[in-house]
Amino acid sequence: MKQKRLQHAILDDSRHPFVARMLQLQSEILRRQGRFDQALEAIDNAVAMKKAIYGTESHPSVAEALEVKVKIFHHLGEKVETKLLIDRALEIRRKAYGQNHPEVSRSIHDLGSYYLRLGQYSDAVEQFKQARQITASVFGMSHPDYVERTLNLANARNEQGEYRLALELVAEVKAALPSGNHYLTARWLQLMGELQRRVGQFATAMDYIERAIAMKQAIYGMENHPSVAEVLEVQAKIYDHLCEFDKEQIVWERILEIQHTFYSEQHPALANTHYDYSSLFLRKGEYTKPRAA
């Protein structure tokens, strides 16, 4: 009874650190569920509450909440606001912790992800390498954060056309992957599928991608999640290589259905998918049919 009364007292205080942490956690859960508008509302409340609690905008706990907001803005395609938030969180953390700290590594990693989405691959590589080095020095090379940094570095190398180097990076962290249905393992499978596609090993690529699809569906508890759409894109491209255009069309239409559910009409991912979908009809010789689903 005393514990319940204490919990109610805490929740009744709208400026308690526990409430701010719960709002931040709620936002992260909503983000993973693809409920981005609700996630943004929760994290805005968390940021405002933390600023009021600590009496400053420069507290490390505020930076933690800003990191969650960065991830939401990534999903929403908000490029300018994302960069401002990353820079602010990085400034707060460097001032609080110095340079070689795991929290600083997280913001540097966010900056790398930002550059990767913009297509600035050399800048992304430099940020990922720096974040990876800090993480390895603090936690070692079997830590999940190191695995994540390495996978993103491999992805940037893939975008640069450095496929063999990317494959070496992916192979490096295979032994450190979490067991069971884990988002890092699903990302590893997806990246392996993409890299095998790039080097022309289409059957092997499809095996990795089918495993990644099944794992992501299990993780998120649904077939129509934005993260599932990401791996379906690789599957569609494999079908394109194999000239299995009817199967490819079905996959692109499923991707568009997912993206229309979760993203605004102005989202960059939708523009890219519409382009790929329209290009399919050109390859099929159906020149009057390039269209949106």
Q: What is the pLDDT of residues 235-261, one digit of tens each?
A: 999 999 999 999 999 999 999 999 999
The pLDDT assigned to 153 comes to 98
**pTM, 2 dp:** 0.86
pLDDT at 136 over 80: yes
What average pLDDT does the segment 118-135 reach?
97
**Among the ranges given (89-103, 153-167, 207-221, 279-293), the one the predictor scored with the smallest mean pLDDT:** 279-293
CA pair distance 228, 205, nearest whole angstrom: 16
pLDDT for 293: 44
At 6 the pLDDT is 43
- Residue 225's contacts (CB-CB under 8 Å, 6 or more residues apart) are 33, 34, 216, 217, 258
Question: Which of residues 282 and 165 earns the better pLDDT score?
Answer: 165
The CATH number fitting domain 177-293, selected from 1.25.40.10, 3.60.21.10, 1.10.3720.10, 1.20.120.330: 1.25.40.10
Residues of the chain above pLDDT 70, percent: 94
Tell me the residue type at 153.
L
The mean of the pLDDT values for the chain is 92
Which one of 70-74, 123-127, 275-279 scores highest in mean pLDDT? 123-127
pLDDT at 23 over 60: yes
Predicted pLDDT of residue 8: 47
What pLDDT does 265 receive? 86
Residue 82 has pLDDT above 60, yes or no: yes
- DSSP calls for 203-241: HHHHHHHHHHHHHHHHHHTSS--HHHHHHHHHHHHHHHH
DSSP string, 89-119: HHHHHHHHH-SSSHHHHHHHHHHHHHHHHHT
Query: Which of 14, 15, 72 is CA-nearest to residue 43?
Result: 72
Question: What are the sequence ranges of the domains in the chain?
Answer: 177-293
- Give 155's contacts (C-beta < 8 A, 6+ positions apart): 116, 166, 191
Q: Is the pLDDT of residue 287 over 80?
A: no
Model confidence at 4, pLDDT cuts 50, 70, 90, reads: very low
pLDDT band at 131 (very low <50, low <70, confident <90, very high): very high
Q: Tell me the average pLDDT across 199-218.
A: 98
- 169-197 confidence digits (pLDDT tens): 999 999 999 999 999 999 999 999 999 99
Neighbours of 66 (CB within 10 A): 25
DSSP code of 142?
Answer: T
Are 209 and 238 a contacting pair, CB within 8 Å?
yes
